[in-house]
Amino acid sequence: MTSATQPATVPVINAAALLHHWQGHRALTRRVIEAFPENELFTFSIGGMRPFALMATELLAIAAPGLKELVTGNAMSLDEKGEGLTTKALILAAWDEATAQINSLWQQFNEARFQETHNLFGQYAFPVYENILYFIDNEIHHRGQGYV
């Protein structure tokens, strides 16, 4: 048995399991986007929240571009405008494309970098694993808003 002060030698979760977990959330969020009536996806707002289409474009601006930055080390700017994503079909197509990009980028990612600090989008200086967990947590948060 190790003491509380000794670092663990086995990770709680490996990279493949983390990707599987993340993609499970992405699949669920995609189903929420699909469930929205076209008009309400872009117009419905309650309690001052943005329409879910705007939340989805935010998620699209963060996930694949953020992972690309983490993999390549090339700084990206955060662009949440979602220009051109004017229909549910276009959002779903962009979602599917981002899902494929994430899968491809993940194969290039070196999990030894999880503990390195990275200033994502030039704004969020945290360990790489925390940035990835933010991608997932932010999606869960906005999906919950979409359910409302």
Cα dihedral: 132, 117, 69, 88 (round 10): 30
Contact between 111 and 77 (Cβ < 8 Å): no
Query: In angstroms, rounded to a whole number, what is the distance separating the alpha carbons of residues 139 and 47?
Result: 19
Residue-wise pLDDT tens digits, 64-109 = 999 999 999 999 889 888 889 999 999 999 999 999 999 999 999 9
Residue 3 clears pLDDT 70, i.e. is over it: no
For residue 105 the two structure tokens come to: 């980028």
Total-model pTM? 0.90
Angle, CA 80 vertex, CA 20 and CA 123 arms, to 5° = 80
Contact between 125 and 118 (Cβ < 8 Å): yes
| pLDDT band per the 50, 70, 90 thresholds, residue 148 | confident
**Residue 34: predicted pLDDT:** 97
> Which runs of consecutive H residues, i.e. helices, occur in 44-127?
52-72, 88-108
**DSSP string covering 69-82:** HHHH----------
**Residue 98: predicted pLDDT:** 98
**Residue 91: predicted pLDDT:** 97
Residue 12 clears pLDDT 90, i.e. is over it: no
Mapping DSSP to helix (H, G, I), strand (E, B) and coil, where does residue 117 land? strand
